[in-house]
Amino acid sequence: MMRIFLFLSLIVTVLAAVPATAGLLISEIACATSGDDWVEITYRSESTSSTDISSLFVTMYYGTNENLSSDPITLYSYDRPETPYDDRFAVVHLRQPGIPDETDITGDSDRNGRIDIYCNNYSGSLWNAECAVAIDTDDNTENGMIDFAAWSDNDGSPSDTILTYVESAIAHGEWIATGASDQTCMTPIQSGGLKSHESIIRISGDTNKGTDFSTTACQTPGKENIQNTENSSSFIFRPSKTRILVIPGDLSHPGECVLRINEPCTIRMRVFTDIGQMVYDSGLIKDVTPGIVSVPWKNCSNARTGLYIALIDGNVSARKKTKAQKVFFIVTRYR
């Protein structure tokens, strides 16, 4: 009995010493952008950790490829509050030579809310109707890769080049074919490939199967993925709360409305008293991108205690689509 106890104790000790799993993953792929194809990568870990990705390659292997940057670029397993972008993501542009990378030194230099990395890879960038892309330590498929994704429109005429990459990924455990290693084991996309505003997104964990990914009509570079199609996009935006408690001076109860934006749009928020007097107008907020966006009520610290009605308007001019939503702010100085 003592031997069994010691053996079990040893197993527990060994398991406790195993570090939490961590890894770089392909999160989103835009392969139909007419010159600016990009791949979003993310770092996931069960622990608070980080990794430098500058020496790695994001590549479809075809042609000549280069590593991401000569300067450090650190991704984190969590979104640090001190940065205005999400530290878990980086967006790699595969065919944009000559543009300076955004690194640990520069941060988000163009202030577009994400870290952008520019590579001078194969001039054709990604193929739309059928292709593969990987995170790797070099541009050689024969010695393994860090993560891998492949997609196809299943037209019955597979690319021998892409199938070679898929077979190599299967051999190294980064892709799994439940049947034949042909077009059917790749992520299925529509005939002829994606439209320019669509992308391929990771919708699940990392099982190394085609079902880990799906297509979306809502690109979100540098942000959490949003899965929707042209027909399923039933709302422009949606507030996380319709009743918001505001305590002036209390950072845990700010005067802001958090919205989930479902497609590129313009937003405007106006705040009224309970008798209809407007006390705040955000003005037109243009070029709002999909994802989670906070719209602040900037002068709420001057508001008297009481109930306020916010009217939020969203507009997608290209599709002549609008939405209006009421949200209630409850301002109090009593805790």
Write the pLDDT tens digit of every residue in 20-69: 345 999 999 999 988 899 999 999 999 999 999 999 999 999 988 999 99
Q: Average of pLDDT values for 92-108?
A: 93
Asked whether residue 16 carries a pLDDT value surpassing 80, the answer given is no
Alpha-carbon distance of 329 to 233, in angstroms, equals: 27
Strand bridging mode 130-136 / 89-93 = unpaired
User: What proportion of the chain, given as a percentage, has pLDDT over 70?
Assistant: 91
Asked whether residue 73 carries a pLDDT value surpassing 50, the answer given is yes
Alpha-carbon distance of 124 to 222, in angstroms, equals: 23
- CATH fold, domain 237-331, is Immunoglobulin-like (2.60.40)
Q: Is 209 left (phi over 0), alpha (psi -120 to 50) or beta?
A: beta
In tens, the pLDDT along 241-287 reads: 999 999 998 888 999 999 988 888 999 999 999 999 999 999 999 98
Asked whether residue 327 carries a pLDDT value surpassing 50, the answer given is yes
**What integer pLDDT is reported at residue 20 of this predicted model?**
38
- Please give the structure tokens belonging to residue 237: 């935006």
Determine the 3-state secondary structure of 160 from DSSP: helix
**What integer pLDDT is reported at residue 124 of this predicted model?**
84
Question: What value does the mean pLDDT of the chain take?
Answer: 89
**What integer pLDDT is reported at residue 320 of this predicted model?**
82
In tens, the pLDDT along 282-307 reads: 999 998 877 788 999 999 999 999 99
**What integer pLDDT is reported at residue 13 of this predicted model?**
33
Contact predicate 240/221, CB 8 Å: no
Residue 169 CB contacts under 8 Å (≥ 6 apart), including other chains = 132, 134, 141, 145, 148, 150, 175
Asked whether residue 324 carries a pLDDT value surpassing 60, the answer given is yes
- Annotated domain spans of the chain: 22-216, 237-331
**What integer pLDDT is reported at residue 260 of this predicted model?**
86
In tens, the pLDDT along 128-142 reads: 999 999 999 999 999
**What integer pLDDT is reported at residue 21 of this predicted model?**
44
Q: Average of pLDDT values for 7-31?
A: 59
Asked whether residue 161 carries a pLDDT value surpassing 70, the answer given is yes
Strand bridging mode 38-45 / 89-93 = antiparallel
1 pLDDT tier (thresholds 50, 70, 90): very low
> Residue 3 to residues 9, 14, 244: CA-CA distances in angstroms?
10, 17, 60
In tens, the pLDDT along 186-239 reads: 999 999 999 888 899 999 889 999 999 999 988 889 988 988 765 555 688 999
**What integer pLDDT is reported at residue 335 of this predicted model?**
66
**What integer pLDDT is reported at residue 202 of this predicted model?**
97
19 pLDDT tier (thresholds 50, 70, 90): very low
pTM: 0.74
**What integer pLDDT is reported at residue 321 of this predicted model?**
87
